[in-house]
Amino acid sequence: MGSFPRQILGRFRRPAAAGRTLRVRGCSLPFRIPKSAFPILNTASPFAAGPFPINFLEPMSDSFVHLHLHTEYSLLDGAIRIPELMQKAVELGMPAVAITDHGSMYGAVEFYQAAQKAGIKPIIGCEAYMAPGSMTDRSATSARDASFHFTLLAKDLTGYSNLVKLVSAAHLDGFHYKPRIDKELLAKHSAGLIGMSACLKGEINVAIQSGDLKKAERTAAEFADIFGKDHFFLELHNHGIEAQQLVNAGLNVLAKKLGLPLVAANDVHFLERSHHEAHDVMICIGTGSMLHDERRMHYPTEVYFKSAAEMAQLFGDVPEALTNTLRIAEMCDLKLDFSTSKYPAYEPPPGMSREQYLRDLCSAGLRKRYGERAVKDQELQPRLDYELSILEKTGFTSYFLIVWDFIHYAKSHGIPVGPGRGSAAGSLAAYVLEITDLDPLRFGLIFERFLNPERVSPPDIDVDFCQNRRDRLRTRKVWCPSRISDHYLWHTGREERSPRCWKSDGIELFRRRPHR
């Protein structure tokens, strides 16, 4: 803790009581006002109004940050809803919290925004699935043998970008029972990331359990080489499981031998201890098991969101593992920018701007759609010019060209395309580009429902492709594979008397009546 600032300028708007927790700008760790400061802060002294040096502040060494946590986005495994998580973190006075869902980042943005709103530092991560060899090797005959677990946390925007790349590659290239990465890919995209050895299913921990300490040491050294010794942590868990005691002892030996830091975690899957029974039912649904089956998968009651005091009671013999959670939280400082759009840029033919290319396409399309009327009708050209000017001013020229490109590709390759749905039908530019097949002038449709210059929001173009041949669109060289993503939807809901099962895009969840 000695590396954290002791001389900090702060400002109190009102007298503060001793013991109050203070968050200091530029430092993510909480500080406590000691009792010795009470007379200063509660007198008419000019110090009470600030600004003043608050070098008497004490870092809260008894605080803790959960760095291994599964939300409901760990489908049918995690049972933590993000709003309730933030309320709990604030209630317990925790300065930060991490999200590490299994093999995915579905909840990253929601988590980040909710944490920011609650005044909690968000740490974006993922409990990745690590292939035992190459991620392209699919010789394993069971999920147990196909992958190990490994915890990743993003320090900054570089780390976040690399985490996105790793998770995407895991789903697109490494999927075998689970979306997997391997050490070779991890080494290429390790910048800005912190690694932790994960749970009992981590590669190092599996080796310790099997008695192969040499393999455990060799694997730990590999990860230390990938991340650097200051960015790879040996992760301690204590849920009262005998195997964890064996693993923790082995990790302590490795930490001393290799000079690696330890960190405490609780592999959180639900918020309160009392939620264990409901979580157990959810696990049965996810695994297709019955509650009375003693051989089925069980989670211990201890994987709930414990307080700092509870974690200190478990790991009091290794205090550095507790303070390292704060150290990692301080290392992580991810800033996501939601103020600007990040659409890909369309590449027009050489020597042409995007705006000119779009205008040329629209002029040709206008003649094709309306024939001689394109010249005689005094309403057509002004309407088209108006729409194109709005697209240029709002920065959606590339967006329009991209949509035209893949629809044009589909139609020219015999892939059936629908006539277009939603507010895009009000755009003449969309009609002449054959993005839609409804004449907005004939049916009196207005462009402003699609894109309003006074209230700019991303335009929404609903396109339907024939399901039997739409996969051919992925072979389009310009956009495949890194610029195409799948969109999934699932429902969550409030508690009611009778449970229901909801399906969407092949995802099946046990939840209640949907309210989102």
pTM of the model: 0.79
Return the structure tokens found at 338.
């939601």
Q: Same structural domain for residues 156 and 252?
A: yes
Domain enclosing residue 52, as ranges: 9-59
Q: Same structural domain for residues 193 and 88?
A: yes
129 touches 179 (CB < 8 A): yes
* Tens-digit pLDDT profile for residues 279-296: 999 999 988 999 889 889
DSSP secondary structure letters along 109-167: HHHHHHHHHHT-EEEEEEEEEE-SS-TT-----SHHHH-EEEEEEE-SHHHHHHHHHHH
Q: Which of 131-145, 233-247, 329-343 has the lowest mean pLDDT?
A: 329-343
β-bridge mates for residue 124, sequence order: 99
Q: 30-32 and 21-23 as β-strands: parallel, antiparallel, unpaired? A: antiparallel
Q: How far is CA 267 from the centre of its chain?
A: 17
Query: Other C-beta atoms within 10 Å of 14: how many?
Result: 7
Question: Which one is predicted more confidently, 362 or 344?
Answer: 362
Q: Same structural domain for residues 131 and 186?
A: yes
Return the structure tokens found at 516.
């989102």
Residue 187 belongs to some domain of the structure: yes
Of the segments 220-224, 504-508, 511-515, which one has the largest average pLDDT value? Answer: 220-224
Residue 339 belongs to some domain of the structure: no
Residue 97 belongs to some domain of the structure: yes
Residue 464 belongs to some domain of the structure: yes
Question: Which one is predicted more confidently, 49 or 143?
Answer: 143
pLDDT mean over 363-384: 95
Q: Which of 52-66, 182-196, 375-389 has the lowest mean pLDDT?
A: 52-66
Q: Same structural domain for residues 134 and 219?
A: yes
Q: Which of 23-27, 149-153, 329-333, 384-388 has the lowest mean pLDDT?
A: 23-27
Average pLDDT, the chain: 85
Q: Same structural domain for residues 36 and 133?
A: no
* Peptide bond just before 39 cis, omega within 30 deg: no
Share of the chain above pLDDT 70, in %: 80
Alpha carbons 355 and 481: distance in angstroms, whole number: 26
Residue 122 belongs to some domain of the structure: yes
* Tens-digit pLDDT profile for residues 158-179: 999 999 999 999 999 999 999 9
Alpha carbons 198 and 213: distance in angstroms, whole number: 17
Question: Which one is predicted more confidently, 515 or 79?
Answer: 79
**Which one-letter DSSP state was computed for residue 507?**
E
Q: Residue 240: is its pLDDT beyond 70?
A: yes
pLDDT of residue 490: 64
Residue 344 belongs to some domain of the structure: no
Q: Same structural domain for residues 415 and 281?
A: no
Q: Same structural domain for residues 275 and 308?
A: yes
**CATH number, position 170:** 3.20.20.140
Q: Sign (positive/negative) of CA torsion 133, 137, 138, 141?
A: negative
Q: Same structural domain for residues 51 and 108?
A: no
Return the structure tokens found at 326.
């704060």
Residue 69 belongs to some domain of the structure: no
Q: Which of 49-58, 60-69, 315-324 has the lowest mean pLDDT?
A: 49-58
Q: Same structural domain for residues 130 and 184?
A: yes
Residue 2 belongs to some domain of the structure: no
Residue 480 pLDDT level (bands cut at 50, 70, 90): low
Q: Same structural domain for residues 96 and 46?
A: no
310 touches 304 (CB < 8 A): no
Q: Same structural domain for residues 260 and 291?
A: yes
Alpha carbons 507 and 489: distance in angstroms, whole number: 8
Q: Which of 75-84, 394-403, 476-485 has the lowest mean pLDDT?
A: 476-485
Residue 477 pLDDT level (bands cut at 50, 70, 90): low
Could you give phi then psi for residue 34, rounded to 5 degrees?
A: -70, 165
Q: Which of 5-19, 266-280, 344-358 has the lowest mean pLDDT?
A: 5-19
Query: Other C-beta atoms within 10 Å of 61: how many?
Result: 15
The residue ranges of DSSP E strands in 140-199, in sequence order, are: 148-154, 180-181, 193-196
**What region does 382 belong to: left with phi over 0, alpha with psi -120 to 50, or beta?**
alpha
Q: Residue 307: is its pLDDT beyond 60?
A: yes
Q: Same structural domain for residues 186 and 256?
A: yes
Q: How many domains does the chain have?
A: 3
β-bridge mates for residue 153, sequence order: 125, 194
